[in-house]
Amino acid sequence: MSNGATTDQRRARGDRTRQSILGIAVDLGSREGLEALTFGRLASDAAVSKSGLFAHFGSKENLQLATVEAAREVFIAEVVDAATQVEPGLPRLRATLEAWLSYFRRDVFPGGCFFQAASLEFDGRPGPVQDRVIEIMREWLALLEALARAAGPSAVSPEQLAFELNAIGMATNWQRQLLGDDRAVERAAEAFDRLISRSI
């Protein structure tokens, strides 16, 4: 029994260490890009050994993929799950967009939208990391499309509405992060409201 408890405690400690490392990796990746995630840099920032990092992740690519998954979990919790308590249809679409703008406003990722940064960083770099980023961005577009479809009859197709909503969000992050425009989120809220009112 004591050996089992010790093993469970060791596993739980390892899981906590891994989550702590990934939290630092997500922040670093959002600010400087996933290529900045070297074992040497992360070992210094997370105050762990390179051998310890290797034991957790095995390779830089595995570390990058784990960081992408950790960022996805944060985004889902902050934006997607935040709206699930709202009734389906137009209210849930609006709640999702409001949660997305709140995610920008609160700088959930210190470097801005993690996935916009990763999309730009890996758009010309084929491989498993690019593949996973593409899958996640397609999931997001599919969610916006499903929300648009459930919101009711629209003057444009759900695919078109999802495209335009996503374009507003991406522009918001760009203008806020690159140009330092703190009013970008408020402008986006106005643009979302105008687009939805005109379309649905």
The per-residue pLDDT for range 6-32, each reduced to its tens digit, is 876 666 676 788 889 999 999 999 999
Kindly tell me if the per-residue pLDDT of 4 is higher than 70. no
Q: What is the pLDDT of residue 82?
A: 87
* pLDDT tens profile 73-112: 999 999 999 899 999 999 999 999 999 999 999 999 999 9
CATH of 2-199, one of 3.40.50.720, 3.40.50.300, 1.10.357.10, 3.40.50.970: 1.10.357.10
Residue among 160, 27, 161 nearest 96 (CA):
161
Q: What is the mean pLDDT of residues 111-140?
A: 95
Q: What is the CA radius of gyration of the chain?
A: 19
Q: What is the pLDDT of residue 48?
A: 87
Confidence of residue 52 (pLDDT cuts 50, 70, 90): confident
Q: 60 with 37: CB under 8 angstroms?
A: yes
Residue in the block written with tokens 């009859």 = 153
Residue in the block written with tokens 């939290």 = 23
Q: What is the pLDDT of residue 171?
A: 97
Confidence of residue 163 (pLDDT cuts 50, 70, 90): very high
Give the single-character DSSP code of 109: S
Residue in the block written with tokens 């050996």 = 3
HSE value, Cβ hemisphere, 13 Å, CA-based, for 99: 20
